Amino acid sequence: MDIDWLRKLCLSLPGTSEDIKWGNDLCFLVAGKMFCVAGLDQPQKIAFKVPDEAFEELSTSEGFIPAPYMARAKWVMVQDMSRLTKKQWEEYIRKSYALVKKKLSKKLLKELGPE
């Protein structure tokens, strides 16, 4: 998994935009709400939202930590990219997108249109 692959995946999701925040973090957003943050510095680290019930297990797994500043919102940070297969990466990113999107207002969801 590399940043180009991650970028292509994230931008394929409806209504996704990207932005650089905090100097060197590539953020992917749906309707202005972040669902994935990729540090562009090496070693690369990527953070995303997970379901509440998966947070404790994932955040204590080898290669993962609770995401700084975002752990209270159930975000994890992957510190070792090799811990996940491409299929797992895709599943986690899509799930993060869905978790963030489902909290959007009905008005914003309507503006995004059908999936």
Domain boundaries, the chain: 3-101
Q: Answer whether 111's CB lies under 8 Å from 30's CB.
A: no
- Is the overall model pTM greater than 0.75, yes or no? yes
**105 CB-contact burial (10 Å; exposed 0-12 / middle 13-18 / buried 19+):** exposed
Residue-wise pLDDT tens digits, 6-44: 999 999 999 999 999 988 899 999 999 999 999 988 888
Domain 3-101 fold is Aspartate Aminotransferase, domain 1 (3.90.1150)
Alpha-carbon distance of 60 to 37, in angstroms, equals 19
